[in-house]
Structure 1
């Protein structure tokens, strides 16, 4: 449902003729259905503040922010750091790997790019002699790349962004596009820098600023910041969200009216088929929670999209990108 509200025009522009026609015919109805469904949810949990604002705009709901979990214990700083910058991700259009290729071609600085996708072949053709592209890496090799690279180049606008936190947990800084969930994780001039526009020129300026700032960078600051997103903080955040007894209102929310509608709907459905709480991580954007009347029995079922984490309260990792 993300594309009902976000990046609609970009998604429609890249779709085929039949898909564009169906989007025009159906998206209004689907948005209405999505808002109606959202009104029946007891608790909405957003991954970052960025998504909390999107939820308020689209659904007119407040949301609790619980950041995705990152197993920071898997990453450690290295004693020796190289001169190569690092880019990691799927090579799809919205990730904007093309910006990194063109900027580092112009700068003639070394860049390692790790990832595969529909743009990989084209980017390989465009990459100059200072750029290495590796489609896949074993996890131990990726951890080594994190810890020994000069800095991470993070070009997309993401709902959160797990890779920058993994980089910081490895004791290295991040140069990131200044929109999206990265605003929750990166502390400017402490764990990295931002570049303001998704343009080659802005990224080039950002890399030059990073080169000048790197002598001031302290790896311990990055590691400490990454620890704020460790697994135990996710568990604590989800459990705290489940303790909210009152439904969160709509803008003009009359909570008694909301409760009344839910009670009537529950009576019409009969006894619930499933006790507990279900959380759904959709495209790293939001968790939807519906709570049964039996508060003594709760379970959390987490699912993640292809990018990001879902983690159950019992500690099982459900997905990782």
Structure 2
């Protein structure tokens, strides 16, 4: 592009009122990094979210934007138990009044795409995944819930069934879907019957950089400590390999169980939450980054590669789009193909039989630079505008189309 893509986006957005709808602001994860990139592109946008309990240290550009929260923000114990209000979330998201906006962008992995828009508005959904509670992780969610009250599981199943119906219906109200990966694009087609463009999340290449110092003899795993990330699988594998060291970074509801699994294993360290500079240093010095989740996209393997660190990843989901397993010098890691400790152990043995070029890892991460993210958004918005103008010629100047 002849002009800087970020400046072109800002200029484009400056002529429009833009609302960005995000499910919730509680922790800083991959979805929040995408939100931050969108806020950088649209500095005049207003943000709508179910709850906002994001710590000040992680707010970034949010403090420069007006943030609207839903009725769930004021519900009892919402700060800690906001997820328990899942049955109320569709109603809450539909209460936002977005009539004054020209463009609505929903950043959705749960209910954000269900906001109500009106004629003359465009609704673009950046979909991190169709609601996993209702679709492909429903059974795992029910198992992990450990229901103790009689009839509770049947009630939750009925609730998830209603959520699935609502989720499918509201997909028809979105004007255009954008998926964060080809993996998610396929799920959008399966569950919603809709096509989706793919725009991968951006990697902060300025923050995650190779370390000039020597690498240390440990492997790193880092994520929120929740069940589907499968940190338990990684710990079980290293528990049976006392000659290999593992450092685990993160906090969450699984921490107690994971600590119990690692008890008595001096080769395994659970470091808990680490600030970003410490995490980046750990990534840059690690022998390899271990990733066991079947993730929608997964930004951390790319952040590790940006540090020059190769990745050992479960060979499903978004990792297939971010890690290069090739026989040549361009390889940036390898895959294990069963979500089991034995499969991971075998992969680690293969990993240690070859050398990986930190420069190749860095080049792979550079394919996901923020510049590319903004260029693809600019191209998509221009194409969407052209299609809309062809149907509604006065779209730029009128909230309501002419007959």
Q: Give the TM-score taking structure 2 as reference length.
A: 0.59
| 8 Å CA contact retained: 1:43, 1:241 | no
| 8 Å CA contact retained: 1:43, 1:247 | no
**Equivalent position of 1:229 in the other structure:** 368
Indicate yes or no: 2:391 matched with 1:294.
no
Indicate yes or no: 2:320 matched with 1:183.
yes
| 8 Å CA contact retained: 1:42, 1:247 | no
CA distance 1:21–1:99, change in 2 (3 Å): same
CA distance 1:297–1:101, change in 2 (3 Å): farther
Once residues 42 and 218 of structure 1 are traced to their aligned partners in structure 2, the CA distance between those partners, rounded to angstroms, is 43
Once residues 178 and 348 of structure 2 are traced to their aligned partners in structure 1, the CA distance between those partners, rounded to angstroms, is 35
CA distance 1:224–1:19, change in 2 (3 Å): farther
**Equivalent position of 2:219 in the other structure:** 85
- Deviation string 1:232-274 (CA, Å, 9 cap, x unpaired) is 11111222222334999xxxxxxxxxx8xxx9xxxxxxxxxxx
Q: How many residues align?
A: 256
Three-state SS of the structure 2 residue aligned to 1:107 is coil
Match of 1:119 among 241, 254, 260: 254
**Equivalent position of 2:89 in the other structure:** none
Deviation at 1:144, TM superposition (A): 0.9
**Equivalent position of 1:203 in the other structure:** 344
**Equivalent position of 2:118 in the other structure:** none
Deviation at 1:32, TM superposition (A): 2.8
Once residues 323 and 159 of structure 2 are traced to their aligned partners in structure 1, the CA distance between those partners, rounded to angstroms, is 38
CA distance 1:296–1:204, change in 2 (3 Å): farther
- Deviation string 1:46-68 (CA, Å, 9 cap, x unpaired) is 00111000000000111000011
- Structure 1: where are the runs of 5+ without partners? 249-258, 264-291, 299-321
CA distance 1:22–1:168, change in 2 (3 Å): same
Match of 1:9 among 120, 136, 139: 139
Deviation at 1:296, TM superposition (A): 6.8
Once residues 276 and 171 of structure 2 are traced to their aligned partners in structure 1, the CA distance between those partners, rounded to angstroms, is 38
Indicate yes or no: 2:187 matched with 1:54.
yes
RMSD in angstroms over aligned alpha carbons? 2.5
Match of 2:281 among 144, 153, 157: 144
Deviation at 1:28, TM superposition (A): 3.5
**Equivalent position of 2:9 in the other structure:** none
Of 237-246 and 70-79, the range deviating more from structure 2: 237-246
Once residues 293 and 88 of structure 1 are traced to their aligned partners in structure 2, the CA distance between those partners, rounded to angstroms, is 50
Once residues 288 and 394 of structure 2 are traced to their aligned partners in structure 1, the CA distance between those partners, rounded to angstroms, is 49
Deviation at 1:115, TM superposition (A): 1.0
Indicate yes or no: 2:191 matched with 1:37.
no
CA distance 1:208–1:244, change in 2 (3 Å): same
Once residues 41 and 296 of structure 1 are traced to their aligned partners in structure 2, the CA distance between those partners, rounded to angstroms, is 22
CA distance 1:296–1:188, change in 2 (3 Å): farther
**Equivalent position of 2:239 in the other structure:** 105
CA distance 1:182–1:295, change in 2 (3 Å): farther
Once residues 54 and 44 of structure 1 are traced to their aligned partners in structure 2, the CA distance between those partners, rounded to angstroms, is 12
Once residues 208 and 293 of structure 1 are traced to their aligned partners in structure 2, the CA distance between those partners, rounded to angstroms, is 63
**Equivalent position of 2:114 in the other structure:** none
**Equivalent position of 2:10 in the other structure:** none
Deviation at 1:6, TM superposition (A): 1.9
Q: Give the TM-score taking structure 1 as reference length.
A: 0.74
Which one scores higher on RCO, CA 8 angstroms, separation ≥ 6?
Answer: 1
